[in-house]
Structure 1
Amino acid sequence: MCGLTRAAPALLLHVNLLLMLYAGALLAAAARLQWDPSLYVAARELFPRESRALRAALPALAAALLLLAHAALAATRCRRAPRRVLLILMSAS
């Protein structure tokens, strides 16, 4: 158990890195969906409602992942009670 408590901050930092990676990928996909005239014009013309929903949802999902990454970083710095709340928040999402 003692080894796990020592390894937990390192594991949370790796989770933080992965969340940041996925958030950046979502932001890049959202930017390409918004402004790339080559591939997504057909999708915008064929599915206008779905395209608008994706253009709104992708940045929101990226922001949620960024908040989860900050929660992981904050969980490594907190004491016992707030750490439990942050870890439950991360595992529930």
Structure 2
Amino acid sequence: MTNFDEKMKQLKEESIAEFSLVAGTIEEARELIELVKSNGIKWFSGEPIDHMSEYIYKKMQTYPEKRFVLNFRNGFNLKKQLTIFCTWEHR
């Protein structure tokens, strides 16, 4: 089982509240987004991740000093579903 799978299992079992994955390159961000899509996870706002992909890639190109951080949280939205949101951190 991969680290992502283990973290997702812990999140669903509520043994952890949240976890984050960091992408330093656009390729890593693409891999993260594919991982999210393949697991059926949506943004906390309820939008599919496809709507945010281009925004993320453009921001990474514009601000190479920042890294994309994808935060996974269980019950973050009103429907108490597994959701994600992103933040940015300096390298």
With normalisation by structure 2, the TM-score equals 0.32
Higher relative contact order (CA 8 A, sep 6+): 1
Tell which structure's C-alpha radius of gyration is larger: 1
With normalisation by structure 1, the TM-score equals 0.32
Q: Which has the higher strand share?
A: 2
Q: Which has the higher helix share?
A: 1
